Structure 1
Amino acid sequence: MIRKTLKATLIAATLGLMLSIVLPANNVFAQSHGKADSRKYQYPNIGHEIRTLPKGNQTVLVNRKNYRYTNGSFYRPNNKGAYVVVRAPIGARVRTLPANRVNFRIGNRNFFFANLTYYLWDQGRSEYIVVDKPDGAESAMGSAQDTVTSPGNSIVYPSEGQSDEQRARDRYECYQWAVDETGYDPASGVNDSAASSDYTRANSACLEGRGYTVK
């Protein structure tokens, strides 16, 4: 009887270990590519469903289909009243990118990589376009510098005990708001000191209004 119990326990433990290896935790995956490998960032998995979209989401129209975009993820409504994470549609145009993007150049064009998706910066329209993986991306990204803090590289201290999750959300939403207010995105690579200063003030004001100290 003791042997049977011990055997059953060992089998259960083995199965549990196998499942923990095979199944993704919390239905999210970590971006892993190029220099971003040194730090892991969590995104919702393709197929993950949510009932309420995060604030500040952007409506994106591609091939007559409506998508919702926020912080590096694209969503489509389903027939159950929820939104499902989908692959980034080629040709989609977005105003902002997540903070952990990788910026790299091929020729005279600025590309970005975030959440397993490639973007091309359209300076004329101040937007990022989802594109197929460009030729030479691997070597270009090998020497690229990844961005791991919110645009502007400001240091943000939570003054009201905000969690890491809340702080990340607030930083992204303030970044998005500051870009919308000033029309300037520091990630674009455009050298405009006046616009950059306006963006920094707007971003800092937003964060301070949410209970952070910005330096």
Structure 2
Amino acid sequence: MATIYIPEEVKEGFILISEMNLNDVNSLVKILADIRAGDEYDSIIQRLNEVFENKSRILLQTVVSFSGLIGKDDATVEEVAKNLAESFIQDYQKSKEEEVALEKNLNIILSNVANLRKNIVSRRSAYDNESILRSSKLITDLRILFQDDLSNKNRDAVIIHKLHVEYQHNFSDKELYFTLDLKDLNRLKAEIEKAIEKDQIIREDYKNNLNILF
């Protein structure tokens, strides 16, 4: 394999892996082995939090970033681990001892990412653009339109609905705001109800033929 570019955003994760002791690596491997195809990343991070606390998100992001290298150009686990370690040390000028520790830990981790890779494939099949909804809420507001003469109580008003959407894209939290009127709400409601009906029909029609993950 050629030298692998290590993105700056996962540098912290590689440092974390290089500093892990065997107990930490084994704890990570156990969590990776327990991942199911339908698990959401937030639930995986919650499990990692029990061991790695606030480092959990960057750790998962890092493992996801290199897990897809296995099998690429027929590369073995050992080759990927060695190449990643050498590339990281070269890019960030770490010591030989850190390279050895990193390669050893990467070998163990890469040997146990099969379930994570299945999870990634299943979620990418469901979310082609990898943007995953985290939360949403509607805020309703009444806007009063004053006359030029502020004392004039004959006033108009409009009702405004703001849809606040929080979503995750490539492990980054993002948010959007949409201003809606009643027509927009009814159109959105109709689309949601149609999607729910389709979901129920599919689950019922294929319950004996398919293992529907989510």
The reply to whether TM is greater than 0.5 is no
| Larger-gyration structure (1/2) | 2
Greater RCO (Cα-Cα under 8 Å, separation 6 or more): 2
Structure-1-length-normalised TM-score: 0.27
Q: What TM-score do you get using the length of structure 2 for normalisation?
A: 0.27
- More strand per residue: 1 or 2? 1
